[in-house]
Amino acid sequence: MRRKIHQVRPKVVHVIGDSHALAFKNKSIAYSEVSMIFSTSVAYIRGLRPDVLLENGRLNQQLAEYLVKERIITPNGKPISATDDRALLSEQYATGSGFEMELVVFHVGEIYVRKYLGTHLQNGEFDKAKIESDLSNIVESYVKDVFTIARNFGLTPVVHEITPPTADDSQFERINQFSSSREHRAYAYECFNKLLAEYVTKHSCMLCPSSDRLADNEGCLKAEYEFDGVHADPKYALMSLCRVADLWLYSRAVGGTKRYGRWFEITRRSIDLPKISQVGVSDPEQIFDQAQVERIRKSIGPLDFLACKKPALDWSHAAPFNDTEKSTTEVKYGAVDASGLELLHEVLVDGPAGDSIRSLIGSKFAIINVRAVESAPHADEGVGPQKFHRDHCPIGIYRGLLYLVDVDEGEGGFEYQPLDGSPEPKQILGKAGALFLFDANAVDHRGSPPRTTTRLALDFVILTVPEEAEEIVHCAPLGYIWPVDPYMFSLSGACYPKQKSDRWFYPSLITAGSEPARFKPL
């Protein structure tokens, strides 16, 4: 009998917390739409409080031990993706995958609120203003610590809401040895969660809500989720896991591991800031003639809204399904076929334009992703890529734009805030075939909304590469943006020159070059 085998990609969700984290033990969900399975790994730290994730600037010992055991950090406290340990690096790349940004959920705070509530009630009057003030201090400190841990170790952080309190007064008093009305305990718990929502936004984390499903109209735990007077029935964990998976899938547009720090060190030819980072945006140059522009236009496949239909672990990517509230329906994207990639390589890599690009970015380069972008005319204010923004590219990633139509005033020109402090944005106009580069981390920029005609352009993701690496032109699947790890990532069949492998990987580069980039320790 022949067995039907489905290839899926696993993603580990690390859940770190007090006893509430135990509800996530041995949980997994499958997303058939994107061929992925999310499974949990739980770090239960007894009595963990939000104020002890960092102690005197150092990582909580039990938390550190877990991160070491899971090979997220090294024993000396360095992100494993930034290590210079040859054995650790070789072991990772021997799996056939580069490093990922680990997804970590922090489920902490309920024990703290319960004990705080008891202390506050013992002091007399139930003072809502004081409770909010006290909890605000602890919640902001907690979220700041989560952000610090995530930033230092290259994690994708999610903060989980605390579980609502039991609605059973007698059980609450028996467990905690003090009494509190439902109104009072519901207020304190709701206040903590409200502050979480406020501070995760402020400090670049994500929030997994749960009280909208778990809490009754009075803010206490619904009867169907009652378990032991403290915890919610573990069945809720699957709901939360689905939400965490969604958060991860919809937040991967700017992912990049700390491997980029070392990579940039071995690619740069000078310690000086690259020219493109000094000027922000290069002057447009007429690189392609009309016949070449027409060849490129013919090489563009069907255009579609930006959605990543098969998310990858090794590429940052757009959301898996188009969300018109987060993007604009007037912008569509398309792939470039082999003939177009060959022409781009001939002109941009082998031709004189290649020397100009190398001079601007200070190294050899590979165009690791190219896609067509069509912007239809409309009268609305721009959203998504048509709003001023920065791309948060990993270090060593630069962007380029090639106009495939003439772009005049009102026709969707690239717009940016100059680095010289000028208050008014500048717009780049030009003929079809004009190319310019920009440092998407240095300047606020946007594709201005075209008002009269459709704008068509090619968007380039340019990676600095060391002398040993080949300068390729690659078109990743629609929705992919840049690799998570520059040392190893998957390649599509749309690559010029054609590669022998479906994977970008140069083993000799793993330990090549200077000392790795140093990241500020905790």
Same domain, 189 and 335: no
Residue 486 has pLDDT above 90, yes or no: yes
Distance CA 479, CA 297 (A): 20
Same domain, 456 and 408: yes
Residue 491 has pLDDT above 50, yes or no: yes
Same domain, 309 and 192: no
Q: Report which listed range, 262-266, 306-310, 328-332, is most confident.
A: 262-266
Q: What is the pLDDT of residues 341-366, one digit of tens each?
A: 999 999 999 999 999 999 999 999 99
Distance CA 437, CA 462 (A): 9
Q: Is residue 445 part of a domain?
A: yes
Mean pLDDT of the chain: 92
- Please say which residue of 205, 232, 249 terminates a domain: 249
Residue 158 has pLDDT above 90, yes or no: yes
Same domain, 237 and 285: no
Q: What's at 3, amino acid-wise?
A: R
Does pTM surpass 0.85? Answer: yes
- What per-residue confidence (pLDDT) applies to 119? 85
Q: Is residue 271 part of a domain?
A: no
Q: Is residue 39 part of a domain?
A: yes
Structure-token pair, residue 196: 């979480």
Same domain, 217 and 297: no
Backbone angles phi, psi at 40, to 5 degrees: -100, 150
Higher pLDDT, 125 or 350: 350
* Nearest C-alpha neighbor of 364 from the set 376, 377, 355, 351: 355
CATH of the domain at 462: 2.60.120.620
User: Once rounded to an integer, what is the mean pLDDT over residues 124-152?
Assistant: 93
Same domain, 243 and 290: no
Same domain, 172 and 35: yes
CA distances from 413 to 176, 253, 389, 416, 451 (A): 64, 23, 15, 10, 10
Residue 512 has pLDDT above 50, yes or no: yes
Residue 517 has pLDDT above 60, yes or no: no
Same domain, 224 and 346: no
Same domain, 47 and 135: yes
Q: Mean pLDDT check: name the lowest of 60-69, 302-311, 402-411, 474-483.
A: 302-311
Same domain, 442 and 351: yes
Q: Is residue 4 part of a domain?
A: no
Higher pLDDT, 330 or 415: 415
Strands (E), 219-311: 285-286
Same domain, 25 and 152: yes
Residue 515: which pLDDT band, with cuts at 50, 70 and 90?
very low
Q: Is residue 470 part of a domain?
A: yes
CATH of the domain at 192: 3.40.50.1110
Number of folded domains that form the chain: 2
Q: Is residue 273 part of a domain?
A: no
Residue 260 has pLDDT above 70, yes or no: yes
Residue 3 has pLDDT above 90, yes or no: no
Same domain, 214 and 327: no
Q: Is residue 499 part of a domain?
A: yes
- What per-residue confidence (pLDDT) applies to 160? 98
Q: Is residue 54 part of a domain?
A: yes
Higher pLDDT, 515 or 416: 416
Residue 521: which pLDDT band, with cuts at 50, 70 and 90?
very low
Residue 144: domain span: 9-249
